[in-house]
Structure 1
Amino acid sequence: MIGGRGKAAKAAREARAKALWQAMTVRYRSDGHIRFDLPDALRTPGAALVLEEGLGRIEGVYRVHVFPGAGKLSIRYMEDVCGIAPIAKALAALVTEAVDMDAAVPPPSVPMVMEGEVVPPGWLDRIKDSAPVRAVRSRYDDLRAKIDVVSKIVAIKTGKPVPGGVDVQEWIIHFLNDLVAFYLIRSHWDRIIGQWLPRPWAFRYQWMTVVYLTFLLVRYRKGAVPKLVKK
């Protein structure tokens, strides 16, 4: 009797997992990026954690994110390392694992707030939640993840670990400094050629500014200690 109930429960669970898997339609697909529609049962924190951790263990997949509000699953991967077939196979197995995790989760405790009182978010939270900042942070995370994956691929192909790592933040700062210097030179080029060089003493303050900015740039470059990306 107990064995029959267990088989019936297992069959019902597998049937539900199959129905959820069939409900996950492809919303968007491009090179190295695919998004799925998620049914309501797979939008819970527990199910999202199972999907993100399980797919993140696939070699070549460098970013997985579940958007519960929008009901979508975003997967970014390196096409040279991982194709769509192993991702789909692993995703089907993970749906079976996450099928029973749609139970109601008790809401987290929140501090007592007086009735009618509205606590506005701070200015820092508003900046972090703004669309441009979120887009930049997303691109930054993607770049770091891609560099990490490429380093692992090089280590596997050569049989030697890649020495050190690339600090993306430091690289971006150097790039922006060079970009600002190029912009200043480009925007003042006519004055440099037509006025500053023929009459350097008359424009001595401008030359002092140029020398000081160059000194700061060189000092920063020499003082910047190479950093290793934390694994």
Structure 2
Amino acid sequence: MAIQRSFVLRYRENGHVRFQIPSEACDSAAAKALTEKLLELDGVYRVVLYRRQQKLSIRFQETICEFESLVKQLYQILAEIEKTGLFNPKPIAKSRLWKVRAISNKAKPGPLNWFKRKYTDAKDTVHAAKVVGKIGLKKPKAFLNDPEKAVIDFLNDILVLFLIKLHWQHITQQWIVKPFKYRYEWMAIFYMFYLLIRSRKK
């Protein structure tokens, strides 16, 4: 129970909690196991463990998983991981430790990497806008007849592309793997496309 007491609740709002966690939980193997097990819980859709800051952020749907239930399941997961010994990693030899530190320092995200990621995201967004724009320009008569509807259709396409990009990791790694568990998310996707197609037919 010692490891559970080291998890201190620092922030809470509807569907979002953040814990201050001990250094034992920030080891790579322990952090990976904790993140994966939390994502398996019903209602939990995003888990971010900041190893350097020793923080754990969990986003969940309170209609599916209440806060008290989430905390109980978190404590149970911590107990299971503690039994495996992941919170007490074996000491690394000095030569190997030097290599690990070298790799870690090399992989540290710097300002340049941040700008690269933002540039890539912006480029993808612009590319998507161009694709949607080309599709819209194929029907100039529709734009001339009803410019308001044409603009709304264009913005709807951009919104759909943005939502797909935003949830792509969850779709490919969780929703497809466990479709029944994420059935409500799939229902939302199908309904969104239904509304999109329906608006185009009008």
1:26 match: secondary structure: strand
Deviations 1:14-45 (A, max 9, x none): xxxx1110111101001100011101111111
Find the counterpart in structure 1 of residue 64 from structure 2.
Answer: 81
Find the counterpart in structure 2 of residue 94 from structure 1.
Answer: 77
Q: Is the aligned partner of 1:152 residue 2:183?
A: yes
Find the counterpart in structure 2 of residue 44 from structure 1.
Answer: 27
What is the TM-score normalised by the length of structure 1?
0.45
Find the counterpart in structure 2 of residue 54 from structure 1.
Answer: 37
1:58 match: secondary structure: coil
Alignment root-mean-square deviation, CA: 4.5
Higher helix share: 2
8 Å CA contact 1:38–1:72 kept in 2: the answer is: yes
Q: Is the aligned partner of 1:21 residue 2:4?
A: yes
Cα 1:71/1:141, change in 2 over 3 Å: farther
| Deviation at residue 98 of structure 1 after TM alignment | 2.5
Give the letter aligned to residue 29 of structure 2. G
Cα 1:82/1:68, change in 2 over 3 Å: same
Give the letter aligned to residue 88 of structure 1. V
Cα 1:143/1:29, change in 2 over 3 Å: farther
> What runs of 5+ residues in structure 1 fail to find an aligned partner?
1-17, 114-120, 156-160, 172-220, 222-231
> What runs of 5+ residues in structure 2 fail to find an aligned partner?
122-161
Give the letter aligned to residue 21 of structure 2. L
Aligned pairs for 1:1-231 within 5 A: 18-99=1-82, 100-101=85-86, 102-103=88-89, 104=91, 106=97, 107=100, 110=103, 123=112, 125-128=113-116, 141=166, 152-153=183-184, 164=190
The structure with the largest alpha-carbon Rg is 1
What is the TM-score normalised by the length of structure 2?
0.51
8 Å CA contact 1:50–1:94 kept in 2: the answer is: no
8 Å CA contact 1:154–1:162 kept in 2: the answer is: yes
Cα 1:162/1:70, change in 2 over 3 Å: closer
| Deviation at residue 153 of structure 1 after TM alignment | 2.0
Matched pairs, number: 135
Give the letter aligned to residue 60 of structure 2. Y
